[in-house]
Amino acid sequence: MIEPYSRVMLVSNKHEAEGCRQGMFGDVIEILANGKYEVEFSAASGITIAQIVLDEAEKNFLPRN
């Protein structure tokens, strides 16, 4: 189950214009209706690259150990 602060990986290049490419990791910051998630993608420095609303098919859930 995906919860806030879950780690996800972007599996499409649909959001390249926002600076996010397939394979990037992000953190769920809000769970929205209809299977959508607001996800924040950040640089290694901690600076936010983008906050994007993704649907279920655009991301893979990565469980934390």
CB 28 within 8 A of CB 6: yes
Is residue 1, in this structure, part of any structural domain at all? no
Is residue 18, in this structure, part of any structural domain at all? yes
What is the tally of helices (H) and strands (E) in the chain? 0, 5
Distance CA 8, CA 22 (A): 11
Amino acid code (one letter) for 29: I
- In terms of residue numbers, what domain contains 21? 7-62
Which pLDDT does position 35 carry in this prediction? 87
Per-residue pLDDT band at 64 (split at 50, 70, 90): low
- Write out the two tokens for 49: 């690259």
Domain count, the chain: 1
pLDDT tens for each residue of 13-63: 999 999 999 999 999 999 999 889 999 999 999 999 999 999 888 888 776
